[in-house]
Structure 1
Amino acid sequence: MNNLKIVCDSLSDVPIELINEYDIEVVPLTVIIDNKEYKDGIDITKEDFYKKLREENVYPKTSQATYTQFKEVFEKHIREGKDILYIAGSSTATGTYQSAVMAKNDLDGNIYTYDSQSFSYGIGVLVVRAAELAKEGKTATEIISELQILRDRSYLLFSVDTLEYLQKGGRISSTKATIANILNIKPILDVRDGLVAPIAQVRGKKNVISKMIDLIKDQCGDDLSDQVIYIGYSDDDKEKEKLIEVAKNELNPKDIKFFMVGTCIGSHSGPGVTGILTFKK
């Protein structure tokens, strides 16, 4: 029997069917909308979150998972005689990882922590791979070695429909946001050094996908027939369908799977965010 419990946080955007299939424990962050707190994925779904952004003109914030949350989760699995591997959202961007490390240090038991230095399904792909390897009977140390290779190969991009949320969150100045909106400039973001950062910008939404594909070809090559790629979506089905079509034609992936971009990225990007995860050779 597998004795290793895989734990992640709600930053990872792992689809619910995979959470259930691999019995993954998800520690929720808190989403704050109009001063009301919601446990991510428990008190509010991703669909409801984007609906609120569209209909209520609100600017959400996220709050890290706490020491107490991790202590309770870790204690539960230690009592069951389990080793624990916690795969975290980027420690550079959130204190959630530090909360887990503090809880680990106050407990006896075999608890391993791994900093993904990523977001959304950049974390999720590591969590699912860890769960697959745990099912095969691999140890936490063996799994972490594999995760390091997969993390270094991962290439994650997001497109943002509006700069309004990045500006409200202090990620860009109001002047830049105003100019960009006047000129209809759409930013493309990647994950670098544990942070989401602008890597390119285009004029007009119709040019976003072609630029994302160009960036992927530059980093990962133009024939991805040996890999499964992942497309992330929020509440913009048209953009998701366009990205699927272009990715199939331009990148020739072995398969395409999907994840819904969650409240962490969504709080900073707003609705209409689209993502794609591919892998360097």
Structure 2
Amino acid sequence: MERIKVVTDSTSDIPKGLAEELDIKVVPLTVHFGDKSYKDWYDITSAEFFYKLENSDIMPTTSQVTPIAFEEAFNEALQDYDSIICITLSSKASGTYQSAVIAQNSLEDADIEVIDSMAFSFGYGMIVIEAAKMAKADRDKQEIVDYIHNSLKRLETYFIVDTLEYLKKGGRINLATAVIGNILSIKPVLGVRDGLVVPIDKVRGSKKVIPKMIELIRANGYDASDKMICLAHGAIPEKIEEVKEAIAREIHPKGFMITEVGSVIGAHAGPGIVGIFTIKD
């Protein structure tokens, strides 16, 4: 039976303990506060990061995974596994995918599949988790790869942030969207289209945001009764519990998976981030 190793990067925001349990190799990006650098999910927790973010005058920056880091991870995995499936964050937002491809090409005799998720955070993290479960169950590699591609096509992402400043400064949304939102107190509901963050709806006032997100999830008669809904948050457990309870009342999903947003996603989204991820029918 072919032994398959699942590899991803840290912006998948998979809880560290779960990644270890499922034998997922997570290669970290890096967040920088001035002259101090931290490996995402390894050197700094979500709570520590958001505390620093809100209490520091320094705007954090981030850096992608290098080809060398991926090559080292691939070589290590190939000591015990026959093949590798690597899923990365969107190539439209980071050079991390390209780094993985460079590492793949440097190991041309190895069986390595690199997949561009065109997604962010737990949106593709939850798909990585299912892929790892399939690998542990000795499922065929092509079956796992097909599952990943099919799930990514049907992935829906909705998220909100307290302020659009971080997304604007990081170049993740355009200036006009940020200015309108800040001036008019309009709260945009953001999503991901073609690998980029885009506004997909808007409401006036923060109290209407969660109902709007639920409305979007329910669009087109979506039935969540046999599905998990995945949530991510920026170290705000009370807020995510409120979101969970609202979704449970209105949509009645099979269950929830909840994670925190790591430092790299947090550096671009800013405080108060809440994300909802679903796989549509």
Aligning the two structures, in what range does the TM-score lie when normalised by the shorter sequence? over 0.9
Change (3 A) 1:99 1:197: same
1:72 is the counterpart of 2:72: yes
Q: Which residue number in structure 2 is paired with residue 128 of structure 1?
A: 129
Judge conservation of contact 1:222–1:250 (CA < 8 Å) in 2. Answer: no
Q: Within 5 Å, which residues of 2 pair with 1:1-281?
A: 3-107=3-107, 108-172=109-173, 177-219=178-220, 221=221, 223-281=223-281
Contact 1:88–1:116, Cα closer than 8 Å, also in 2 = yes
Partner Cα distance (1:225, 1:35) in 2: 48
CA contact 1:222–1:251 (8 Å) conserved in 2? no
Closer, same or farther: CA 8–214 of 1 in aligned 2, 3 Å: same
Assess if the C-alpha contact under 8 Å between 1:89 and 1:96 holds in 2: yes
- Asked if structure 2 preserves the Cα contact closer than 8 Å seen for 1:65 and 1:99, the reply is yes
* Change over 3 Å in CA distance of 1:176–1:135 after alignment to 2: closer
Unaligned 5+ runs, structure 2 = none
What amino acid sits opposite 2:40 in the alignment?
Answer: D
Query: Using the alignment, how far apart are the partners of 1:229 and 1:70 within structure 2?
Result: 30
* Matches of 2:55 and 2:231, distance apart in 1: 25
Helix, strand or coil: the match of 2:122? helix
Q: Distance in 1 between matches of 2:174 and 2:100?
A: 33
CA distance in 2, matches of 1:92, 1:178: 23
1:136 positional shift: 1.4
CA contact (8 A) 2:173 2:198 kept: no
Q: Deviations over 1:177-210 (max 9, x none)?
A: 3442232222211111011211112111111101
Root mean square deviation, CA, Å? 1.8
2:84 and 2:218 map into 1 onto residues whose CA distance is 37
**Partner AA of 1:116 in structure 2:** S
Q: Which amino acid aligns with 2:171?
A: G
The alpha-carbon deviation at position 223 of structure 1 amounts to 3.5
Shift of residue 29, structure 1, vs aligned partner: 0.6
Q: Cα offset for 1:222?
A: 5.0
Q: What TM-score results when the alignment is normalised by the length of structure 2?
A: 0.93
Counterpart CA distance in 1 for 2:58 and 2:158 is 25
Contact 2:166–2:269 (Cα < 8 Å) also in 1: yes
Q: Distance in 1 between matches of 2:98 and 2:174?
A: 29
Query: Counterpart of 2:257 in structure 1: which amino acid?
Result: K
SS of residue matched to 1:41: coil
Letter in 1 for 2:211: S
1:79-99 residue CA offsets vs partner (Å, 9 max, x unmatched) = 335311111111121111111
* TM-aligned CA distance change 1:201 to 1:102, over 3 Å: same
Post-superposition offset of 1:266: 1.4
TM-score by length of 1: 0.93
Classify the secondary structure of the residue corresponding to 1:73. Answer: helix
Q: Distance in 1 between matches of 2:2 and 2:22?
A: 11
Letter in 2 for 1:15: P
- The one-letter amino acid paired with 1:254 is K
Runs of 5+ in structure 1 lacking a partner? none
Shift of 1:167: 2.3
Seq. identity, %: 46
